[in-house]
Chains A and B, each alone.
Chain A
């Protein structure tokens, strides 16, 4: 046997963390911070603005710190820990107050809630602030559903939509359940299932450029099943998937498109159509 074998600490084995208990939600606050996310910032800013409008409609004052940028996820998933930590620290410092943080993207919310613990695993003092941020971070749909407990009147025409949920959001934040329930509150919206609904769209951040052939095959299958669902459009709460799916649909010259959930919801409850 190798020497490593006997050098290892005998009790160093990790066990799986306990299953998270169902999250308990606070009463509706008067003020929140919106963390827009870099993809929404640059490619889907209207969705971010619609998220602000939805929150304001619930009587909440929204802050948008101008010093925010990216949660750090691209570097983290690429293995560049130091770079990810620097960027994460900038956001952590910026959000270091008592306000709830609402994020219109499940994977970035998951980064705050799950992965910052790993990013700062070797900094016990920072971890306290990380726990505070994790506790205060809400993905937009869960915030509207469980914190604002919205009660909406659907002002839109009858429509059928397909819902796509990012994988990290699905498995880290349960976004798919929140979005389903939220959409269920809209009387004129019917959600149609699509084939292999829980399967990844192929984005995976830098995976899409490191393994473009595999990623391309995945998004091709995803767009096909979305189109074949019979839905008029695809709705998603994640900017990354939206960028991937819409970019692929455009390349394929398909008319079918996806839209951010925030814009869709704002249109239904305000009667305003986002340009």
Chain B
């Protein structure tokens, strides 16, 4: 199946990595089983279709309203957080964000960081950045801990180790931690927890993400199910939260529907086990909590998406992962095939703004546009429409000035010429009917090898007579209209 793909592409392209993933039966089973379960959980969490659709519309409107005032809300958030004693930092690039985080840790002479789950920190590749500066950054979310232990990256934004089953985790723990193998999931979790417990107490700095940053009150809201988020943000003396600028919402009232959409869409939960609302460092009369709290607000291409009225909708995302759970492509190839931090349908539409289309040229095309993602998105991002738009930007010539970073990655004179020919054929009735006549009369000469199509299909053979012919004979009317 892979012989026609050059060796370099086998590792460097979506398609090449997909070939490897598709050949891995264990991986495919793991994803299919997990995604089927997640789809059912979501469906069960929204038993009332009218309620679900109403809530999705509300979620969409709340995010649209917040985005329409984004610069103002961010300034309000900064002012309020500052009042609350939180230090706010702005980073245009991941490099800047890493420098900020590193400088804070340096100022505390810290060497150990414990991290709650944060996709933005993955975006920053914070672990590697800090490791190069002799700072240990330990993942404390169980899934993140597993992938870190195995030297991997997350394969899902909510469930980072979803590509592994319990037997694979058991073997990993045995190999890396020297514990006995066990197939008992609870025991596996306890092994992880025991290891992490000590780390929470020793850490100099805790790092976390943010689910919603509330401008009116200066509150950072963080949801999680394992308690590691609360430990990471309260046990160490310094807490650094990192987040993208699109996470800001106006007020706490707006959070209620968004939170319900998030937890029900992600894991089918009415609410997560922990909901942390962080409004500042420990006050003088308080017994616990960090002495310092920082927030790093990261742009990393988001303002580029913001500048385009259509693509701005990608910033609605609340990172629930439902689009990937329902995606027939993601389900078959898994998250690592995407080769970037954010996989699945949402990854395809937000990654180009971060890294440029030249780095992910195949992502917009790696979709049948089936629409399952858009159908389940809790904030109604029209994901197929975004993919179509990115395909437009992807085939633009330099002269057409693509509107997305490094657009025109798939510009090809040859392909453009083919579509020009196609347009000529389909706009000239005479030419089109001549084509039909030729294709049907010379059907026996139809090529037996039609490139990639005949890898999966028998060669298509045109009918003996076209519908144009059959209809004309049947209706005996010719060009009536």
Interface residues of A (CB under 8 A from B): 1-2, 4-16, 19, 33-34, 36, 38, 40-46, 48-49, 52, 62-67, 69-70, 72, 74-84, 86-87, 89-90, 94, 97, 99, 118, 167-168, 170-172, 198-200, 202-220, 243-244, 247-248, 250-251
- The chain A residue sitting closest to B300, CB to CB, is A2
B445 CB, min distance to chain A CBs, angstroms: 14
A67 CB, min distance to chain B CBs, angstroms: 4
* Contact of A13 with B371 in the complex, beta carbons under 8 Å: no
* Contact of A45 with B463 in the complex, beta carbons under 8 Å: yes
B43 CB, min distance to chain A CBs, angstroms: 11
Complex formed: what's the CA distance from A11 to B457 in Å?
49
* Contact of B304 with A4 in the complex, beta carbons under 8 Å: yes
Question: For the complex, is B165 an interface residue (Cβ under 8 Å from A)?
Answer: no
Q: Say whether chain A's binding surface is mostly helix, strand, loop, or mixed.
A: helix
Complex formed: what's the CA distance from A30 to B299 in Å?
59
Question: For the complex, is B440 an interface residue (Cβ under 8 Å from A)?
Answer: yes
* Contact of A86 with B427 in the complex, beta carbons under 8 Å: yes
A259 CB, min distance to chain B CBs, angstroms: 14
B268 CB, min distance to chain A CBs, angstroms: 18
* Contact of B423 with A200 in the complex, beta carbons under 8 Å: no
Residues of B within 8 A of A8 (CB): 303, 306-308, 312
A118 CB, min distance to chain B CBs, angstroms: 7
* Contact of B451 with A42 in the complex, beta carbons under 8 Å: no
Q: In the complex, which of the residues B2, B364, B423 has the most CB atoms of chain A within 10 Å of its own CB atom? A: B423
B299 CB, min distance to chain A CBs, angstroms: 6
Which of the residues B90, B304, B388 comes within 8 Å of A79, measured between beta carbons? B388
Residues of A within 8 A of B462 (CB): 42-43
Complex formed: what's the CA distance from A255 to B374 in Å?
36
Q: Which of B14-22, B109-117, B175-183, B278-286 contacts A (4 or more CB under 8 A)?
A: B14-22
Residues of A within 8 A of B61 (CB): 15-16
* Contact of A167 with B477 in the complex, beta carbons under 8 Å: no
Residues of A within 8 A of B478 (CB): 66
* Contact of A45 with B309 in the complex, beta carbons under 8 Å: no
Question: For the complex, is B294 an interface residue (Cβ under 8 Å from A)?
Answer: no
Residues of A within 8 A of B312 (CB): 8, 12-14
* Contact of B392 with A65 in the complex, beta carbons under 8 Å: no
A245 CB, min distance to chain B CBs, angstroms: 9
Residues of A within 8 A of B365 (CB): 206-207, 210-211
Complex formed: what's the CA distance from A7 to B405 in Å?
16
Given A8-B306, A49-B471, A79-B391, does the pair A66, B479 have CB atoms closer than 8 Å? yes
Residues of A within 8 A of B53 (CB): 19
- The chain B residue sitting closest to A2, CB to CB, is B303
Question: For the complex, is B191 an interface residue (Cβ under 8 Å from A)?
Answer: no
Complex formed: what's the CA distance from A199 to B368 in Å?
11
Residues of B within 8 A of A251 (CB): 454, 456-458
* Contact of B481 with A63 in the complex, beta carbons under 8 Å: yes
Which of the residues A33, A46, A72, A87 comes within 8 Å of B481, measured between beta carbons? A33
Which of the residues A80, A94, A209, A244 comes within 8 Å of B395, measured between beta carbons? A80
B170 CB, min distance to chain A CBs, angstroms: 28
25 pairs from A and B in contact (CB 8 Å cutoff)? A1-B303, A4-B306, A5-B71, A10-B69, A33-B481, A36-B467, A41-B436, A45-B465, A64-B477, A66-B429, A75-B423, A78-B419, A79-B391, A79-B392, A86-B427, A167-B370, A168-B369, A200-B372, A202-B368, A207-B367, A209-B453, A215-B368, A218-B368, A247-B456, A251-B458
A91 CB, min distance to chain B CBs, angstroms: 9
Complex formed: what's the CA distance from A45 to B466 in Å?
6
Question: For the complex, is B185 an interface residue (Cβ under 8 Å from A)?
Answer: no
* Contact of B479 with A171 in the complex, beta carbons under 8 Å: no
- The chain A residue sitting closest to B312, CB to CB, is A13
Number of B residues, CB within 8 Å of A: 100
Complex formed: what's the CA distance from A125 to B423 in Å?
22
- The chain B residue sitting closest to A95, CB to CB, is B481
* Contact of B392 with A67 in the complex, beta carbons under 8 Å: no
A169 CB, min distance to chain B CBs, angstroms: 10
Question: For the complex, is B480 an interface residue (Cβ under 8 Å from A)?
Answer: yes
A133 CB, min distance to chain B CBs, angstroms: 14
- Mask: chain B, 47-78; 1 = CB below 8 Å from A; 0 = not: 00000010011001100110111111000000
A56 CB, min distance to chain B CBs, angstroms: 9
Q: Which of B79-87, B141-149, B326-334 contacts A (4 or more CB under 8 A)?
A: B326-334
Extra inter-chain contacts (15) besides given A1-B299, A10-B68, CB under 8 Å = A5-B303, A12-B309, A13-B65, A14-B64, A19-B57, A43-B462, A45-B466, A45-B467, A65-B481, A66-B468, A79-B394, A204-B367, A204-B368, A208-B452, A220-B456
A140 CB, min distance to chain B CBs, angstroms: 13
Residues of B within 8 A of A12 (CB): 68, 309, 312
* Contact of B432 with A69 in the complex, beta carbons under 8 Å: yes
A60 CB, min distance to chain B CBs, angstroms: 12
Residues of A within 8 A of B479 (CB): 65-67
Question: For the complex, is B270 an interface residue (Cβ under 8 Å from A)?
Answer: no
B89 CB, min distance to chain A CBs, angstroms: 12
Residues of B within 8 A of A13 (CB): 64-65, 67-68, 309, 312-313
- The chain B residue sitting closest to A4, CB to CB, is B307
A173 CB, min distance to chain B CBs, angstroms: 11
B60 CB, min distance to chain A CBs, angstroms: 4
Residues of A within 8 A of B419 (CB): 75, 78, 80, 83
- The chain A residue sitting closest to B305, CB to CB, is A4
Q: In the complex, which of the residues B65, B72, B432, B440 has the most CB atoms of chain A within 10 Å of its own CB atom? A: B432
* Contact of A7 with B71 in the complex, beta carbons under 8 Å: no
* Contact of A67 with B429 in the complex, beta carbons under 8 Å: yes
B residues 348-386 near A (Cβ < 8 Å) are: 362, 364-372, 374-375, 380, 382, 385
